[in-house]
Amino acid sequence: MPKYVYRFHEGGKDQRDLLGGKGANLAEMTRIGLPVPPGFTITTEACRAYMRDGRVPPGLRVEVTTALREVEDTLGRRLGAPRDPLLVSVRSGGKYSMPGMMDTVLNVGLTDASVHGLANMSGDERFAWDSYRRLMQMFGATVLGVDARAFAEALEARKAAAGARSDVDLTADDLRGLVDDYRQIVSTTCGRDFPQDPREQLDLAIEAVFGSWNSERARLYRRRERISDDLGTAVSVVAMVFGNLGENSGTGVAFTRDPSTGDSGAYGDYLPHAQGEDVVAGIRNTLTLDDLRERDPGSYDELVVAMRRLETHYRDLCDIEFTIERGRLWLLQTRVGKRTAAAAFRVAVQLVDEHLITLDEALGRVTGEQLGRLLFPRFDRTADTPLLTRGLGASPGAAVGEIVLDNAQALTRTQAGAKVVLVRRETNPDDLAGMIVADGILTARGGKTSHAAVVARGMGRCAVVGAEALDVDEAHGEVRVDGVVLRPGDVVALDGTTGEVFRGDVPVVDSPVMRYVADGLDAGLQAAPDDEVRDVVHSVHRLLTHADSVRRLRVLANADTADDAHRARARGAEGIGLCRTEHQFLGERRHYVEQVVLADSDDERQSALAGLLPLQRADFTALLEAMDGLPTTIRLLDPPLHEFLPDLTDLSVRVALAEERGRVDEHDVRLLAAVRRIHEQNPMLGLRGVRLGLTVPGLFALQVRAIAEATVELRRAGRVPLPQIMVPLVGSVREMQLVRAETEGVLAEVAQRSGVRLEIPIGCMIELPRAALTAQRIATQADFFSFGTNDLTQTTWGFSRDDVEGAFFSDYLENGVLTISPFETLDADGVGALVRIGVERGRSARPDLHCGVCGEHGGDPESIHFFHQAGLDDVSCSPFRVPIARLEAGRAAVLVGEDTTT
Amino acid sequence: MPKYVYRFHEGGKDQRDLLGGKGANLAEMTRIGLPVPPGFTITTEACRAYMRDGRVPPGLRVEVTTALREVEDTLGRRLGAPRDPLLVSVRSGGKYSMPGMMDTVLNVGLTDASVHGLANMSGDERFAWDSYRRLMQMFGATVLGVDARAFAEALEARKAAAGARSDVDLTADDLRGLVDDYRQIVSTTCGRDFPQDPREQLDLAIEAVFGSWNSERARLYRRRERISDDLGTAVSVVAMVFGNLGENSGTGVAFTRDPSTGDSGAYGDYLPHAQGEDVVAGIRNTLTLDDLRERDPGSYDELVVAMRRLETHYRDLCDIEFTIERGRLWLLQTRVGKRTAAAAFRVAVQLVDEHLITLDEALGRVTGEQLGRLLFPRFDRTADTPLLTRGLGASPGAAVGEIVLDNAQALTRTQAGAKVVLVRRETNPDDLAGMIVADGILTARGGKTSHAAVVARGMGRCAVVGAEALDVDEAHGEVRVDGVVLRPGDVVALDGTTGEVFRGDVPVVDSPVMRYVADGLDAGLQAAPDDEVRDVVHSVHRLLTHADSVRRLRVLANADTADDAHRARARGAEGIGLCRTEHQFLGERRHYVEQVVLADSDDERQSALAGLLPLQRADFTALLEAMDGLPTTIRLLDPPLHEFLPDLTDLSVRVALAEERGRVDEHDVRLLAAVRRIHEQNPMLGLRGVRLGLTVPGLFALQVRAIAEATVELRRAGRVPLPQIMVPLVGSVREMQLVRAETEGVLAEVAQRSGVRLEIPIGCMIELPRAALTAQRIATQADFFSFGTNDLTQTTWGFSRDDVEGAFFSDYLENGVLTISPFETLDADGVGALVRIGVERGRSARPDLHCGVCGEHGGDPESIHFFHQAGLDDVSCSPFRVPIARLEAGRAAVLVGEDTTT
C-alpha cells in the first residue's frame, strides 16, 4: 500500500507532484527550520485513488490518525478537545497553482463544546464565536453543499437586527445567535445536525477537498491552463494559528524583492488583528513592512531573516504568507513569486550577480513572452488622459482611434485616412471587414477566448474585450459608460495588455527595450527614462547575449523586401528563412499577371513574363544586397493566380449591372471568363505552389532567372549574395525533380553567359503531410527542408485558417477541443508528429539535411522549444519576433530535459 | 564477379528478374526439351552495371565468347564465317513486357564476305542480300544512330528505279545495289564503314540494347506502366532460323486456347515463306493452324504437342512465336498469353476442371477490372449501326446521344430532356459544365491521360478520346469524319471500352454477368444469348463464390437510401459502410436548413430542426428495414451548411439586379446576408462534419434521435435493425468525447422513454491526418474507425478534388508526378502510410478496434489489396462495385506475399 500521508518534516520542495506546491513548500520550510505550524499533507495519489474508486482509499484513515496524533502531541492539545482545542485548517493544493479554484476549510475542530474552550484559551469570547460561525459557513457550503446565500442572508438579518454596519460591529452575543441560525439552516437543508465530532469534521473536509478537484470551475480552469485532469490535488492539514487575537497579532504577505519593479529588498503588506481572508477582502487598508518594524521589531527581524533564508534556499524571488499570533511569527505558505516582465529580467540578473544562480539558470527564469511584453509600445502614463473603463487585455498593443460602431463606418473612416477603434457589444464573423481595417477592437462582452479575442490575436490586432461597463447602443448610435456618452468620431485609446480604455488621445511612447533590440544597447539606454529602466535594458542585454551564446537553433527572419531585411538584420537575424515573392506580382504589376492568365498563346504569356524580369531582378538585387553575406531563402511563387485578379462575385455583379445598363466593358467580360475559368472551390488545395510552376510554363524560370541575374550583378560588385531557392507545396519527389531540372538549367545558362559561378542551393517547403511522410525520397532532390507549419497545420487538421478561426475557434476553445489556436502554438501531437517524421525520414536519406521552419510558429516560444527538441537547425519568424526567438532558442538549449511548460 | 551470361539450358522461368521474361522462357523451353535454337542470355545485372558505369562490365566479353563458342560448336558453324556463317539475333527483354519499346537486331554476323556464304548455304541469293540489307538497316538505325528515314528513302529510290511496287518485287541484284546504297549512307553519316567484324557487330548490338533501356520512349512507357527505371533489360542472343526460305518455311503465332473467347483448343495464325516482321506488318493475309496441318502435318503435330506441353507446364494459356525452317519447327518465344475478360474467367475455370490449377490459383488469374468490364452494358453488335470512327476507349461504358459542341448547347438540350454527347477537339476546364451534363464525351485529340479522359473517369462518364479522324469545326458548327458531315442534333453512340464511335442510335443490351450479380445465377444464365456466354456466367459464379469463401475483408456498400440498400444487398453487400445523410436535407427540405441558418434565436433553430425529425425518422426506418439484420453505418451530417443554400455569386447578382430594377426581394436580401456570413474561402477545410455538430446546437441530436426512434419502431415490429453512428471529420479525441456524450444522452433518453434497449456503436471517420496520427487517443472514444480515404487524400496531398482533377491532373499524369489519380487508386506511399499509422495506433489503444474504409478506394482493386495488407476489417464501395470488391478481397487473401501488381 502506498504511503498517503507525509508529515511536514518528511517532505520537500521537489515533491510537488505528490504533495502539491503548497504541501511541498510547507515541508521544505519545516525541513530548513523555519517556523511553520505543525501539520501533514495527504498526497495527490490518495486523491487519484479517491477519483478512481469514488471513496477514500483504505488505510488513509489510520495514517491520518497517526499523523494527527503527532501534531496533537507536539502542541499538547487534542483536535476539538472541549477545554483546550487544537483547530486545523484543511487546505487544497495541486502541482500547479489554481488560485481560488478548489476548497479550503479553516477552524476544523470547533464544536458546540470546544467553542467554549477556544474562548477560554484565547480570553476572547467574540473571537471564539466568530471562528465557529466562520467554520459553519465554510464547512456548510463546501462540505455539506448548503447554498452559501442562506448563510449570507442570515448574517445580513443579524446585522440589521443589531443595527451593525459591518461584521466587526457584531458582538459575541450576536455571533452566538448567528451560530444558532446557521445550525438551523444546516439541519433544515441537510436533514442532519452540524457534525459535533471533530474527527468527522476533518474526514468530511478532506473528502470535500478531494471532490473539489473535479468541480466544474476547476475543470474549466485546467482546460484553459492546459493542466491535466489526472493530476489530483493534495490536502494539507495544518494547525491553526490566529492573526486576529488582538493588536499584537496580524497577518500579511511579503516578497523577497519587489515583484513589480524587481528592486531588491523585502516588500509586502501587513494587517494587524486580522486573518488572511481579511487581507484579501480589502476591507481595511494594509500597512507596510516598515510599519511592522515599528510595531513589532522582533517579529519583523525574524521575518526578514526567514525571507533571506528562503531566497538563498530557493535561489529566486519568493513570496510568503505569514501570521503573527500574539507576537509569534508563523509562515503559512511560500512559493517562487510571480513578477512583471521587467522584474523578471532584473531579478534574474541580480541573482547572477549575487552568485545565487548561473547565467544558464537566469535564462531559464525569463521567457520570450515576457520579452515580448517589454517590446510593445506603451501609453505614456505621465499624460493625464482619463481612464474610461477597464476590460480584459485580449490582444496586446496600444491603439488610439475614432470610435466606429459597424463595418460601414469603419470602412468609410479608414478610407478617409482615419485610425479607428471598432466598438461592438460582441463580434461575430459579420464584423470581420471592420476588424481588418481597425487599429483596435473593443467589446463589452466575452472573455479571452471570445470571437473578438481569437480573431484579433490571429490578426495581431490590439483588443480589449469584456469591458462590461460599456453599453453599446447601436440603435441610437452611441456608447454609454458610467454616465459618459460617446459617439462615432470620439477618440478612445486601448491598452491591449492591461485592458485599460482611455478617453481621448494618449501619447504612445516607444519601449526602450524595443529601441535596444532595434538599434543597439546605447540607443536602448538613452531611451530609458530612469535608472530602473536602464537596468531593465541592461538585464535584457545580458540574458539575450547569453542566449545567443548557448543556443543551437539559428534564428532567421521572414522578410519580403530590403526594408524588412534591414530591420531583421538589426534585430539579430542570421539570414532570411522565408522571402515571399507574392508582393512582386502585386500593385501595378497585376496587369502582367492578367496578361499571363488571359494569354491566348505561349508567346503572349512569355512576353508578359519577360516584362516582369527587370522589375523582379531589381527587387532581388536590393534584398540580397541588404542581406550581404547572410543566407537568403527565396520562395518561388506560392498563391493561386486568381489572388492577383478581381473577386469572382464582385466582378460578376459589376458585369451583370453593366449589361443591365447597356454599358458592357469588353475587358471586364473577358476577365470574368478567365476568373470563372480559374475559380476554385478550395484555392488552398488548388493550383498553387509547385503545381503552378509545373503548369504555367516559364513562371518559375522567370523567378529563377531574376534571382540568378541579381546574384551575378552583386558578385560583380564585390558583394556576397547568398540566395537559396525554395519550392513551395511539394508533395512528391517527382515535382522536386522537375523543378530542380528546370532551375539548374536556368542557373547554368546564366552562369555560362556571365562567367560567374552560381552555386545556389535548391530546397523545398515541407508543408503537406505527404511531403513529411515521403521525406526520404524528397530529400534526394532537396538541398534543404523548411517546414511550412502554417500550411501543414491547415492540412493536418483540415482547418482553413481564413475560415475557421472566426467561425468556430471560439467555440472550440470554450469546449476544450483546443486549448490554444494551433496556428499560434504548434500542435505537437498532430502537426509536430509530422515534423518529427519529416526530419527523421529526410535525414535517413541525407544525414546532413538542413531542416528549418518558416511558419509563424517560428516566433512562438513553446513551438521553438518543440523545434529544438525535434532537431531542427533553424527557425524563421517576423523581424519583430527575432529577439524573442533568440531568447527562447537559448532557453530551449539550457532547459533541455527540464519541464519547460512553466 | 557475378555471372553475367546464362546459356539457355542453365536458366528457368522463375528467373524473370535476372533474365527478363523472354530469356527466362527461352531457357525454360530449352530445359523441358522443346525445340529452341541454341543461344544464351546476358543478365539484367549486366545492364544495371552498364547503366551505372557507362560501360560494359569487365568480364562480360569473355563470358560471351565462351557461350558463343558453345552455340557455334552445337551448330558446327562460326559467327559470320565466310563459307557457312552462323547468324544470331540480339533481343531485348526486361522483367515486364514493354512491347516495341526497346531494340532488337536480327541477322548479326552478315558481312560483305559472309553474305555469299549465306547465299550458298540457303541456295537463295535474293534471300541472302535481303537479309544483309535488313541487318544494315536495323543495325544502322539502332546501333549506329543513323536516321531511319535515310534508309527508307534509298529503298524507295531503288523501288522506283526497278519499277517495283513492293519490296518483294526487288531482285537479288536490286538488293545488292541497295546494300551499296546503305553502305554509303553509313560511311557518310557515321564517318566509318559498316563493321565487317562479326564479333564487333555482336558487341555493339548488345551495348545498343542495353542503351535502349533508357531511351525517351522506354522511360515514358515505364512511368505510365509504373515499372521501375532501375530494373534494366536482359539481352538474349539466339541463333537465327529463317521462315523465309521457301514454301516449306514459315512463321506464326499461336495460343493454346482462344484468347478472345476462352474456347479450348489451339488457335493461331501462320504465314508461309515469311519472317516474323512480315506477320506484324500485315502485308499478306495469314493462314490458320488448320491450313498448316494440311500443308505440313509433321510440323503441325509437333507444334500441337509442344503447345500442350507448354500449357501443362505453365498451367495457363500460353502464346508462342514459332518459325518453321524448311520443315523444321523452332519455338522462338512463349509467355502466358493476354486474353479478354470473358476468356480469363472461362480459361481459369477450365484449368481447374482439367486439374491443372486449384481454385485459389484460378482466383489469382482473374481480376476485378476484368469482372468490371463484364458488368458494363454493351452495344448490341447484331444491330447494323455503321461504325463512324475509332478512338481510344478512355472511360468505359456505353453512351448514346445527340451531338453538342459546347456548354451552351449541352445545357439547353439536356434541360429539354435530351441525352447528349459532347464533341470537342480537346477539352479544358472551361468545358466542365458541359461534361457534367453529357452522357458521353468524344474528343479528336489527346490520349488516355488527357484532360477529357481524366475528368471523365473521375466523373464515371463514358469517354472516347483521340479519335483523330474527327475534324471538329466549331466555326461552322459541324463535325467532319471521312467525308461524313455531322451537326448538332445528329445522334452518335460511344463505346468507352473499345473506343468505337457509331453513327446513329445503337441499342444497348444489359450484360448477362450484370444480371447474374444483381439477380442471381438463374437470371444471369437466362440473359445469356448462347452457351459461350452461359459458360462465362458460370465461370464468374464459381470464382466469385470461391472469393467469398476465402476473403477476410468484409464487403459493405455505400448506400444512402432504401433503394440503394436493396441494390447493394442483392449484389452481396454484407452491410452498409457509409450512409450519407446529406440528401435528407435536400430538395423540399432545404427550407428547414434555411430556417436553421437564418434563425435569430435558439428556439427558432430548434423548431426548424424539430420539423425535420419525422421526415428523417421515416428515412432511417426504410433504410434499416431494407438492411434488416445487417450493420448499417450512418454518418452524421458532413457538408457545410452553405451547400444547402444558393450560391453566393448567383445570389449576389440576383440581388444587385433586383435592386437596380427597384424590385428588392426582402427574403433574398436576408438570405444573401446569411450566405455571405457563412461563406468560406475553403469550405473543404471549414465548418463541416463534427465541427458543425459541435457548433449548431441540436443538429446531431436531431439525427441521433431519428436513428434511435427508427430503431425502436423496427424492434417493436420484430425486425433486427443494426444501426451504427459515425462521426465525420474528427481531428481530436475531445471532439469525439463531446459528440459521444451528447449521442449517448439522446440514446439513453429514447431507450428509457420507449423501454427498448439501444446498443448502438458510435465510431468515427479517420479522414484527417491528425486523426490518424492521434488514433491511439481517438480510439478510446470510438467503437470503430472508418477511413475516409477521399478526404484523407485531399488533406494528405493538399488536393481539392473539385479543383485539381480538371486543372492540372492531366499535366501531372503527363509529366509523371502522378501515374494514376490518387482519388482512383490509393496512394500507398503517402495516404497509405497514414492508414497504416491510424490502424496501428488505434489498435495499440483498443486491440479489437474494427477498422474499415468507406472512400471510393473501397471499390478499387489495387487499393483493396492494400487495405487487406494493412489489416483492415472491411471495405465499403458503391453497390455497383460490390462484386468487384468481393472478387478482389478474395484475390488479396490468396495472393498474399505474391506480386499482385500484374
Nearest residue to A95 (alpha-carbon basis) of A220, A239, A226, A2: A226
Q: Does B807 touch chain A (CB under 8 A)?
A: yes
Burial of A825 (0-12, 13-18, 19+ CB in 10 A): middle
| A614-643: pLDDT as tens digits | 999 999 999 999 999 999 999 999 998 888
Option in A678, A681, A735 nearest B802 (CB): A681
Is A687 in contact with B803 (Cβ distance < 8 A)?
yes
d(CA B775, CA B843): 8
Q: Which residues contact A483 (CB under 8 A, 6 or more apart)?
A: none
* Residue-level pLDDT at A809: 85
pTM over 0.80: yes
Active site members of A: 451, 854
CA distance A169 to chain B (A): 50
d(CA B63, CA A846): 38
Q: Does B681 touch chain A (CB under 8 A)?
A: yes
Give me B627's grid cell: 438492411
* Best residue of A682, A738, A778 to probe chain B, by most B CBs closer than 10 Å: A682
Burial of A718 (0-12, 13-18, 19+ CB in 10 A): exposed
Is A769 in contact with B795 (Cβ distance < 8 A)?
yes
d(CA B789, CA A562): 45
d(CA A842, CA A654): 50
Nearest residue to B101 (alpha-carbon basis) of B110, B109, B113, B93: B93
Which residue among the candidates B47, B451, B865, B868 is catalytic per the annotation?
A: B451
CB A662 within 8 A of CB A600: no
Look at residue B282 and tell me whether its pLDDT is greater than 70.
no
Q: Which residues contact A709 (CB under 8 A, 6 or more apart)?
A: A613, A617, A750, A754
Q: Does B652 touch chain A (CB under 8 A)?
A: yes
* Residue-level pLDDT at A688: 94
**A-chain residues near B432 (CB < 8 A):** none
From residue A811, alpha-carbon distances to A461, A490, B341, B582, B599 in Å are: 20, 33, 56, 24, 18
Residue B103, phi then psi, degrees to nearest 5? -95, 155
List the binding residues of B for substrate. Answer: 580, 635, 767, 788-791
Is B798 in contact with A429 (Cβ distance < 8 A)?
no
CB A590 within 8 A of CB A646: no
User: What's the alpha-carbon Rg for chain B, to the nearest Å?
Assistant: 33
**A-chain residues near B695 (CB < 8 A):** 807-808, 811
| A216-272: pLDDT as tens digits | 888 878 876 778 888 999 999 999 999 988 889 999 989 999 988 899 888 888 999
Nearest residue to A649 (alpha-carbon basis) of B734, B675, B784: B675
Nearest residue to B511 (alpha-carbon basis) of B540, B482, B548: B540
CB A18 within 8 A of CB A43: yes
**B-chain residues near A780 (CB < 8 A):** none
* Best residue of A649, A810, A811, A837 to probe chain B, by most B CBs closer than 10 Å: A649
CB A697 within 8 A of CB A602: yes
Q: Which residues contact B383 (CB under 8 A, 6 or more apart)?
A: B506, B507
- Coil, strand or helix: which one is B345? helix
Burial of B558 (0-12, 13-18, 19+ CB in 10 A): buried
Question: What are the strands of the beta sheet with B104-108, ordered from one edge?
Answer: B5-7, B39-42, B233-239, B88-94, B104-108
* Residue-level pLDDT at A728: 98
d(CA A469, CA A500): 12
Residue with the larger pLDDT of the pair B171 and B395: B171
Strands (E), A23-120: 39-42, 78-79, 85-86, 88-94, 104-108
Q: Does A735 touch chain B (CB under 8 A)?
A: yes
* Best residue of B670, B676, B773, B802 to probe chain A, by most A CBs closer than 10 Å: B773
d(CA A104, CA A444): 33
- Interface ipTM: 0.84
Give me B252's grid cell: 506464326
Residue with the larger pLDDT of the pair A175 and B456: A175
Q: How many CB pairs under 8 A join A and B?
A: 205
From residue B307, alpha-carbon distances to A516, A722, A886 in Å are: 91, 69, 78
Q: Which residues contact A490 (CB under 8 A, 6 or more apart)?
A: A402, A403, A503
DSSP A169-190: G--HHHHHHHHHHHHHHHHHHH
Name the pLDDT band for B449 (thresholds 50, 70, 90): low
- Coil, strand or helix: which one is B56? coil
Give me A155's grid cell: 448574517
Q: Does A830 touch chain B (CB under 8 A)?
A: yes
Look at residue B901 and tell me whether its pLDDT is greater than 50.
no
- Report the percent of chain B where pLDDT is more than 90: 72
Residue B471, phi then psi, degrees to nearest 5? -120, 100
The response to whether A788 counts as a known ligand-binding position is yes
Which residue among the candidates B462, B579, B854, B877 is catalytic per the annotation?
A: B854
Q: Does A681 touch chain B (CB under 8 A)?
A: yes
Name the pLDDT band for B279 (thresholds 50, 70, 90): low
| B787-819: pLDDT as tens digits | 999 999 999 999 998 787 777 888 898 888 998
Nearest chain B residue to A834 by CA distance is: B773
d(CA A769, CA A838): 9
CB B449 within 8 A of CB B816: no
Q: What per-residue string of b and e applies to A26-58 under the rule 16 or more CB within 10 Å gives b?
A: bbbbbbeebebbbbbbbbbbbbbbbbeeeebbe
List the binding residues of B for Mg(2+). Answer: 767, 791
* Residue-level pLDDT at B283: 57
Is B681 in contact with A680 (Cβ distance < 8 A)?
no
| B713-770: pLDDT as tens digits | 999 999 999 999 999 999 999 999 999 999 999 999 999 999 999 999 999 999 999 9
B636 DSSP assignment: P
Give me B134's grid cell: 535488313
DSSP A412-445: HHHHTT--EEEEESS--GGGHHHHHH-SEEEESS
The residue count of chain A comes to: 902
Name the pLDDT band for A901 (thresholds 50, 70, 90): very low
Nearest chain B residue to A827 by CA distance is: B770
CA distance A478 to chain B (A): 23
* Best residue of A223, A773, A802 to probe chain B, by most B CBs closer than 10 Å: A773
Residues 422-461, chain A, touching B (beta carbon < 8 A): 428-430
The residue count of chain B comes to: 902
Q: What per-residue string of b and e applies to B363-374 under the rule 16 or more CB within 10 Å gives b?
A: bbbbbbebbbbb
Residues 715-734, chain A, touching B (beta carbon < 8 A): 729, 731-732, 734
**A-chain residues near B789 (CB < 8 A):** none
* Residue-level pLDDT at A222: 85
Query: 10 Å Cβ neighbour count for A716?
Result: 11
Helix boundaries (H) for A317-367 = 341-353, 359-364
In single-letter form, the type of residue at position B220 comes to: L
Q: Which residues contact A156 (CB under 8 A, 6 or more apart)?
A: none
| B498-524: pLDDT as tens digits | 899 999 888 888 889 999 999 999 999
- Coil, strand or helix: which one is A52? helix
- Coil, strand or helix: which one is B247? coil
Name the pLDDT band for B118 (thresholds 50, 70, 90): very high
Residue A536, phi then psi, degrees to nearest 5? -60, -45
